[in-house]
Structures are given as C-alpha cells and as structure tokens.
C-alpha cells in the first residue's frame, strides 16, 4: 500500500515577522502620548519600562493599537514581500506534491475588528490569496497546539517567529524554528543556540527555504 506524502508547509508569525508591528505601534504611541521612541531600537519584548508606563497600561495600549486603523496599515518587514511573492509564483507552477503551503499563525487577537484589520493589512501588503491559511489567536494563548495540528496535516518544514518563546515551544515538539532577528530579540541569540536566527527574509530564503524549492 502506497502512503500518500503529506503536503509541505511553512508556518509564519505575522507581527514583526511579516509586518512591522513594533514600528507601527511606536509611531502610534509617539503620536498619541508624546513619546519619541524608535521601534527599531526597542531593547526587548516588554516595552513598558522603555515607554515609562506600567505593564497593565502597556497591555491596554497594545490592545487599543490592535483595534486601530494603524494596525491595518503596518509596513512589511524587509524583503518579506519579495520572498512571499517568489513562493507564490513558485507554487503557481509547481506540482501539488512540490507546492509549499504558506500558513500564518498570529497571536494578535481573534475578535472581528482585529481579524478584519489583520486580513486587510496582509492582503494590502502581499496581495490576495498569498496565504493558504490565516489563524489568529489571543495573545495569552500558546501556539504549540496549533503548530502540532499543522504538523499533523502537513510536512511542516519550518516555523518562523520573532518571539523566542514561541520558537522554543515549537522546538519542543520537534518543529524546526527560525527567529527573525530584531533589536528586541538579538540579545537572546547566544542563550538559544538550538534556534536559528535570520537577519531578514532574504537570509531566511537562502538558508532555510531554498532547499525545498524544486525547479525543473
């Protein structure tokens, strides 16, 4: 009996992986609250001390931002559009068994307002039908069970995220994880030698994705 091979897939975070959430949030915060911070110089994931506010206030402002029109207008990460379009073009001509499904898994929130803004942003930046699946969950939730479900259905080649905690959860269930390196996570590289860090999407493509592209 011939066992059908699972289709290939990559799973991608959205915020600070596909689109520049921290840059957009800091611009929003500067405008609304009079701060003068540069999101591309953020020292860590917890921005509360950097912005001079309590963590509870920070959570509220993050939630407000994710419900604002600015959240639906985030700029793409460097080379992200080029690589996603390259994969889309490849998939259009590849055999079904060679196609690489592109799945987005984001903890931005799951209510209708956030979902509509996120989908509009992804379509506006990357174009229609670039992603095979988009799953949005709430910030307090773990991505691990969702990655396990993806791996049950697909040959999950890699998982890409900017948050080291998410990548460690993926690594714990045997999913190869790649961290998109930014100012807020680069200090964690030496402490996580089992994870792969990439400086941008072109680096990600050349080192971790290109090997799965089968060109006749």
The predicted-structure confidence for 83-121, as pLDDT tens digits, reads as follows 999 999 999 999 989 999 999 999 999 999 999 999 999
Under the banding of pLDDT at 50, 70 and 90, the label for residue 214 is confident
pTM: 0.94
Element (DSSP H or E) covering residue 179: strand 177-180
Q: Rounded to an integer, what distance in angstroms lies between the CA atom of residue 195 and that of residue 50?
A: 27
pLDDT tops 80 at residue 57: yes
pLDDT digits (tens, 9 = 90+) for 59-92: 999 999 999 999 999 999 999 999 999 999 999 9
């Amino acid at each position: 009996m011939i066992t059908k091979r699972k289709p290939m897939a990559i799973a991608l975070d959205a915020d600070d992986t596909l689109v520049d959430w921290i840059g957009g949030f800091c611009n929003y915060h500067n405008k609304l609250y009079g701060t003068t911070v540069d999101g591309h110089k953020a020292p860590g994931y917890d921005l509360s001390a950097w912005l001079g506010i309590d963590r509870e206030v920070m959570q509220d402002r993050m939630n407000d931002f994710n419900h604002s029109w600015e959240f639906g207008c985030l700029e793409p990460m460097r080379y992200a559009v080029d690589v996603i379009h390259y994969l889309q073009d490849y998939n259009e001509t590849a055999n079904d068994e060679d196609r690489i499904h592109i799945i987005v898994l984001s903890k931005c929130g799951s209510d209708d307002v956030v979902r509509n803004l996120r989908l509009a942003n992804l379509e506006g930046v990357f174009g229609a039908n670039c992603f095979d699946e988009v799953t949005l969950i709430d910030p307090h939730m773990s991505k691990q069970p969702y990655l396990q479900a993806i791996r049950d259905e697909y040959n999950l080649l890699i998982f890409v995220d900017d948050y080291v905690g998410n990548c460690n959860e993926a690594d714990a269930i045997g999913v190869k994880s790649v961290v998109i390196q930014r100012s807020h996570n680069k200090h964690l590289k030496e402490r996580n030698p089992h994870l792969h860090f990439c400086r941008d999407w072109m680096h990600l493509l050349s080192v971790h994705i290109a090997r799965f592209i089968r060109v006749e």
